[in-house]
Chains A and B, each alone.
Chain A
Amino acid sequence: MASKIPINYLLSPIRYSAVNVPVLKCFAPALFCRYASGLSRKDYKARDQPKKKKKQRKEFKNQSLRDTVQYSLCDAMRYIRAFEVGRNPTSCKYDLAVRLRTAKNGPVVRNRVRLPHAVNTSLRICVICPPDSPSAAQARNAGATLVGEETIFDAVKEGRIEFDRCICHVDSAQKLNKAALGRILGPKGLMPSSKTGTITKDIAGTVKGLVGGSEYREKLGVIRCAIGQLGFTPEEMQRNVRAFVGEIKKDLALLSDRIGKDIHEVVLSSTNAPGFSLNGDFRSPTSPPTRDLGVL
């Protein structure tokens, strides 16, 4: 066995072609103290020793913001508009990422917020309640597109589902269950249930929350949310960003002192643009007039 190795060594073409290859350890004299498995004594030693455990970080790592270039809202929007030029304005959105100083474990921030200027305006809402009841009128006022009971059940059974969200009044819940729509609406996530808060007494409030409401939750220490349409003016964006960050601050304040989370950085981005760290100012001296920034 030992006699084979030198032959191998001589025949190896790489040995001759590559001049700079350092002398390999396995071909050094140490070769003779090999074990049967092919490992050297040194390798064995390394294997037997327990692996050093890397110290786990308890918190998400945050880079210092001291040297970061930060932008005012108008400047960031100017760049983003340039990156988004010629894109479909209905499919591209501004989005906001809020970086938190937070531990890796523990509760996450999760809530829904109603922005002053809705991002997704085309949401169709269906309300199941008696069409002549006062709550039906409220629902229509709040922006529901479909209101009724039997007519909706029939339509759904025929396969015409012309809504994106479905809410049911408590009094109509029994009728809804009798209509046995669960097999049609259930897989689409449209079946009202008290667990998700879609069977409710306060129809008007729920519908208002759904129209222009958006959900957010913390993932890996960052909260991301679509914050505006591309055609928004800086003023509208400012109101939306303020409302959103204010809501997050409220959520953070509600957590117990022991958990202690706070906002590290706010970054504005969009579908096709890089992220711009915001410095909290509305505009800088070099920003263009705010009227111009809403132009598509």
Chain B
Amino acid sequence: MNVVKRTKKLKALLDIRIGPGAAVLSNDVKRIHLNFAHKLNDGHLGARKVWRKYLPRLKYHNPAISMTVNRTLDQGGPATLTVFFAPPPRSSSATASPAPSSSTDPSAAPSGHAPADRIETIDMKHKHESEILSRLLELTRGITYEATPDELAELRDVDEEQKRSERDREAQARLNEIERQEKALLDLARGGVVAA
């Protein structure tokens, strides 16, 4: 594992901590369930983007909220985001139980889940991911996580690094191009000699 690779991985971690979707939801949210199709035709793109871009950040800041995704093969079906509300749990002692439920299994559909006080549904079909996110934050009274100065400084460093590597990449591409031309010329000359 070299140092450069590690820095790149750290960028991914920073992306999980800050950015759109990094918010602490109110503590009566129990579960968030996404239901959409495998492919993006017919308005399922926003739903997938929510899962890929925002859900990791939400999960990082709200580890206690269960977040599940179910992708159906029915392309014409609905794309919904369901939020389950339940009264916040009393501080019960942690019990170790190795019983992970199967969250992406269609049989474990949201309806049959633990008692929820209130269920709210957001229709995600034909909507942009940012629109869905703002609707979700509004519904769950999410408080956006403010990046600390340290994290902002780190972000600046990463950006600078990216700019630098962009510049280096271009320089190297120019060099490679020159080398390639030189080689082509050389081959041409060699080929001419052999043909003669």
Contacts and interface: CB of A to CB of B under 8 A. Distances in A.
Interface in B19-33: none
A156 to B, nearest CB: 30
Contact of A295 (B65, B96, B178): B65
B196 to A, nearest CB: 5
Interface in A184-235: 229-233, 235
A8 interface: yes
Contacts of B56: 82-83, 85
Interface stretch (B117-125, B132-140, B164-172, B183-191): B183-191
B182 interface: yes
Given A21-B182, A26-B186, A296 B68 contact: yes
A236 interface: yes
A117 B9 CA distance: 30
A89 interface: yes
A63 B6 CA distance: 11
Contacts of B51: 85-86
Specify the main secondary structure of chain B where it touches its partner.
Answer: helix
B100 to A, nearest CB: 2
A28 interface: no
Contacts of A292: 63-64
B73 interface: no
Contacts of A90: 100, 102
B115 interface: no
B94 A290 contact: yes
Contacts of B64: 288-289, 291-292, 295
A75 to B, nearest CB: 10
Contacts of A24: 182, 185-186
A81 interface: yes
A187 B71 CA distance: 36
Nearest to B64: A292
A89 B103 contact: yes
A274 to B, nearest CB: 5
B162 interface: no
B49 interface: no
Interface in A1-30: 1, 4-5, 8-9, 12, 14-15, 18, 20-22, 24, 26-27
Contacts of B1: 63, 275
A181 B107 CA distance: 38
A86 B55 contact: yes
Nearest to A235: B96
A102 to B, nearest CB: 16
A166 interface: no
A69 interface: yes
A14 B185 contact: yes
Contacts of B184: 14
B44 to A, nearest CB: 14
B185 A86 contact: no
A27 B182 CA distance: 11
Interface string A35-63: 00010000000000000000000000001
A229 B98 contact: yes
Interface string B1-26: 11100100110110010000000000
B174 to A, nearest CB: 9
Contacts of B58: 85
Contacts of B55: 85-86
Interface string B56-82: 111110011111110000000000000
A82 B193 contact: no
B16 to A, nearest CB: 5
Given A21-B178, A86-B34, A292-B63, 6 more contacts: A14-B181, A14-B185, A82-B60, A88-B102, A232-B100, A291-B64
Interface of A: 1, 4-5, 8-9, 12, 14-15, 18, 20-22, 24, 26-27, 38, 63, 67-69, 78-79, 81-83, 85-90, 117, 229-233, 235-236, 274-275, 288-293, 295-296
Interface of B: 1-3, 6, 9-10, 12-13, 16, 34, 51, 55-60, 63-69, 92, 94, 96-104, 178, 181-182, 184-186, 188-190, 192-194, 196
List the 7 closest A-B pairs by CB distance, nearest first. A231-B100, A86-B69, A292-B64, A82-B60, A291-B94, A85-B59, A292-B63
